[in-house]
Homo-oligomer: A and B are copies of this chain.
Amino acid sequence: MDRNLLLTLRYNGAYFHGSAVQKNAVTVCGTLQPALERIVGEKILIKCCSRTDAGVHAEMFCLSFHTKSSIEPQRLVLALNNSLPEALAAYACREVPPGFHARYSCLGKRYLYKIHNSPVKNPFLIDLCCHHRYPLDVERLNRACQDFLGRHDFSAFCASGSDVADRVRTITDCSLRREGELVSFEVAGDGFLYNMVRIMVGTLLKMSYGRIAPDAIPEILRARERKNAGPTAPAAGLYLKEVYYDLPDPEN
């Protein structure tokens, strides 16, 4: 009997050249696939919730695959963690309806961007945060974040060269918060363009220098020109935090 399984992972992006399989690089799926195929005993086709770039982390990354294996989902998680490297961990596995697809069934995602805001770099945050040495007025920048909320064409916040046609996305939550030296940018929405979160952060950082006006975001969105937004912030601060699906409660 063929089952469709949804697997949830967590990984440290510093150890991978992104999530998608590549011929000559260590990637998340390139590491996961052979381990998974050894356990289920057959070739499988993995569908991922999205792609992440080299250096980008995931607190939650989802993928689905069909398998003839009858392995119990909890056992699959244990077996995977016995063979995966420390930088990649399986957290949960459950059966989902046959038509479920980790990418096409996804209703939305939440990203977190971590900024270490301090004059001196912290040796224990290497690869885990973006370091920003100049003071950040978090309250003011958080007000600017509110301009991202709602349904907009995010062409200005998409890496040039991306060939996605529909660039309209809906942002449901967007905020900047400080906890000591850690400044966290969080954004949730129904979908994200290539480099969109990193360009949003780069825009806020440029705003903090006074080189983008505090009220400029609505106009940048309207003009749909990549060059009006800020630079792409480094990969190391970015975490895929949650992936949303409409699924019945798991049976156990």
Contacts and interface: CB of A to CB of B under 8 A. Distances in A.
A33 interface: no
Interface residues of A, number: 20
A86 interface: yes
B126 A12 contact: yes
Number of copies: 2
Contacts of A122: 10, 89
Contacts of A131: 86
Interface centre among A11, A15, A89 (most CB of B within 10 A): A89
A181 B11 CA distance: 18
Interface string A5-33: 00000111001000000000000000000
A237 to B, nearest CB: 13
A124 B12 CA distance: 6
Please provide the 6 A-B residue pairs with the shortest distance between their CB atoms, ordered closest to farther.
A12-B123, A87-B123, A86-B121, A86-B126, A11-B123, A89-B120
Given A15-B123, A90-B120, 13 more contacts: A10-B122, A12-B126, A15-B126, A57-B123, A57-B124, A86-B121, A86-B123, A86-B131, A87-B123, A87-B126, A89-B121, A89-B122, A91-B120
6 contacts: A11-B123, A12-B123, A15-B123, A57-B123, A81-B121, A87-B126
